[in-house]
Chains A and B, each alone.
Chain A
Amino acid sequence: MTSDIKSALRPVLAMTILFALLLGIVYPLAMTGIGQAIFPRQANGSLVTQGGKVVGSTVVGQAFTSERYFQTRPSAAGKGYDGLASSGSNLGPTSQALVDRITADVAKRRAEGVGGALPADLATASGSGLDPDLSPASAFAQVARVARARNLPAERVRALVAAQVETPLLGILGDPTVNVLALNRALDASGG
């Protein structure tokens, strides 16, 4: 056994060092080089600039709480949409804390005049806390409030939302979505 271990020593040490270098240094650095060369925008976070300022990422969600904007979903990432603390709420199906949070969010929507059953994503926290999207139904549910806040005709705001609905790839991959940052930028650009 001792001689077995001794004979294994060189392969163990050499393989550990060689593969750590290959897989832990060469591979990720080579991939970084390729990514930065071919897809620099995506490799650096798909950032969106507006007037020379970085205003967000097309991929990651940000907090929208003003009534003049379409609001993103409730978030459990830090104090909301914290890019350094992604997280879901992790509240289970029988959690009273979940019931309390949803009750408050539903009451807020009711106060804005949204009637009927709310779309499921509007009052639930996402898995990452950084969900960039809303379902089309959740976006349409906010049209009346946004139009009121901006003194715009509801029809025009509704058309802006409709133009931002992304249909699933091949009709089956994922659900239809509305990217909230893109929608709100379109809203700002529409002059309302």
Chain B
Amino acid sequence: MTLQGWILILGFIAILLVLTRPMGTWLFALYEGRRTPLHVVLGPVERGVYKLSGIDPKAEQGWRRYALHMLLFNAALMLLTYVVLRLQGVLPGNPQGLPGLSGHLAFNTAISFTANTNWQSYGGESTMSNFSQMFGLTIHNFLSAATGIALAFALFRGFARRSATTIGNFWADVTRVTLYVLLPLCVLLTVFYIASGVPQTLAGTVDVTTLEGAKQTLALGPVASQEAIKMLGTNGGGFFNANSAHPFENPTALTNLVQMLSIFLIGFGLTWTFGKAVGNTRQGWAILSSMLILFLIGVGVTYWQEAAGNPIVHQLGIAGGNMEGKEVRFGVAATALFSVVTTAASCGAVNGMHDSFTALGGMIPLINMQLGEVVIGGVGAGIYGFLLFAILAVFVAGLMVGRTPEYVGKKIESREVKLAVLAIAILPLIILGFTAISSVVAAGLAGPLNKGPHGFSEILYAFTSGVANNGSAFAGLTANTPYYDGMLGVAMWLGRFFIILPMLAIAGSLAAKKYTPESAGSFPTTGGLWVGLLVGTILILGGLTFLPSLALGPIADHLAMISGKTF
């Protein structure tokens, strides 16, 4: 590890802390349905959308209707993408003449992008036409992100409202977030990326004759416009197979920094928005503090392990940190940081190959996802996932002091706790269940590239990434098979919507409650004790379940690595 590396890591966090309040304030205005300076330009667009769709943005919805409209909208978008991908061969915008996708791949990809996962069983440059990238995939990058933020708003309203029967209007939330946050920021980011060397063209490929006289064909396309929302919306689906390691997606160390910042920007802001919504911004800072503690531990371990390098490789006469699967322009520090950022959030973009990380360096991304991506987390999904843990934490605290637990003015009762457990239990159930099945059936065992414990890690990582809606991979796994496309498709769908429904039910149930003012007997949810309790709850309730699987995968791999055993 170097001083320079740590300055990068701490500077990265410092920039985000400065941006937290402005971003949070902007989001709060949209949460409240207030005007922003952008309404002058985009207000007519917003009103036009409502008019054509027959939507009354002021019509409040109860949690059931909010959930129903959200589900139907996502299902329609998923169907659209499935059709676009299947028919790719006959649709326009296909300069490479690529054929339509197989049924299982289109199924997997349509779910993947709808669920904000962006797991990719394919290599973008050899599978997707420009039209599919734009019309089939980019739309999900916006709308799955907007859906996540809308859902977070709905839960915030559950905490903030008193004796209410409604939690907002889904259509108004999605439209406002898309028009006033995602789209304007993406326009700025796209221009920056193009200026930095990310292509933005409708051409498919360009042929070059290398200095040595060989022919090299470079894949091009409308990359920058997709790159912008891929990071900002914590989607992570790369235009190219190598994702943000590809020089056309991420050409410089500066674009790399901007990509990492855009992954976290909205997640940081939403903690502030939450505090503002419940009337005490210290509530937001307390959440952010516990997230940052977990984040820094993760970065520390991964950076340390990657900088220390692989002793097996050192034996062969190579010095220094682990550079297998990493780009020179980023180096070890920025790649380690990126890997922890992308898995703490539900992004899943990678700027280096996690499969080739050292055993423990690659275990941290895995743990981040297994904790449910509540360390900052995906846009919207991170904070609503975190608040489920907060509900469990006040419940645990309530058990210890023998009082009815309260959180930000709401009594937490058995219904909320049951629903929170239901939402959180889906992760281990599917991750471990599907990994176990895939470790014994032939179609599952055909997947891994690597042998030994690392092969098991590849399977575990795939289902963890799918259920947690991350999308990054230990990419050695051959996943474009009917078995993995199908299993992962189901895993991604359940991982997204099986958490959302109980969460919205909690929002509805909280909104209906009266306000309970804080008293001398309330457990304080702003100080250091609370932050510690949150961290402990997440690690114990979220993490402990996975320890045996980690022992079989990365920990066994690490022990093999330090004793020089190869497979």
**Hey, which chain A residues are within 8 Å of B355, CB to CB?**
88, 90-92
Shortest CB-to-CB span from B146 to chain A, Å, is 9
C-alpha spacing A57/B219, complex, angstroms:
12
| Of the residues A13, A38, A87, A188, contact of B76 by C-beta under 8 Å | A13
Query: A23-B138, A86-B125, A92-B450 are known contacts. Are A131 and B320 too (CB-CB below 8 A)?
Result: no
Nearest-CB distance from B13 to chain A (Å)?
A: 14
A125-145 contacts to B (CB < 8 Å):
125-135
Query: Within 8 Å of chain A (Cβ to Cβ): is B449?
Result: yes
Residue of B nearest to A24 (CB): B135
Instruction: Please tell me if A60 contacts chain B, counting CB pairs below 8 Å.
Output: yes
Q: What's the nearest-Cβ distance from chain A to residue B285, in Å?
A: 27
- Quick check: B226 and A28 within 8 Å, CB to CB? yes
Give the total number of A-B pairs whose CB atoms are below 8 A apart: 385
Check if B325 is an interface residue, CB within 8 A of chain A: yes
Nearest-CB residue, chain B, relative to A27: B225
Q: Any chain A CB within 8 A of the CB of B178? A: yes
Interface residues of A in 103-122 (CB under 8 A from B): 103, 106, 110, 117-122
Which of A16-30 touch B at CB < 8 Å? 16, 18-20, 23-25, 27-28
Partner of A32, one of B201, B256, B450: B201
Contact between A169 and B52 (Cβ–Cβ < 8 Å)? no
Contact A88 B353 (CB under 8 A): yes
Q: Are B68 and A44 in contact (CB under 8 A)?
A: no
Docked complex Cα distance between A128 and B199 (Å) = 16
Q: A34-B194, A44-B201, A92-B474 are in contact. List 10 more A-B contacts (CB 8 A).
A: A43-B200, A60-B247, A63-B210, A87-B241, A88-B324, A89-B324, A90-B353, A98-B324, A132-B247, A171-B4
23 chain-A/chain-B pairs, Cβ below 8 angstroms: A10-B54, A11-B55, A15-B49, A15-B53, A27-B225, A31-B200, A31-B224, A35-B201, A44-B220, A86-B241, A88-B245, A89-B356, A90-B355, A92-B454, A93-B557, A98-B324, A106-B317, A120-B323, A125-B324, A127-B353, A169-B252, A169-B253, A173-B256
Give residues in B with beta carbon < 8 Å to A.
4, 7-8, 11, 49, 52-55, 65, 68-69, 72-73, 76-77, 80, 123, 125-126, 134-136, 138-139, 142-143, 171, 174-175, 178, 183, 186-187, 190-191, 194-203, 205-212, 214, 216-220, 222, 224-226, 240-242, 245-248, 251-254, 256-257, 309-310, 312-314, 316-331, 334-335, 350-353, 355-359, 449-454, 457, 474-476, 557, 560-561, 565-567
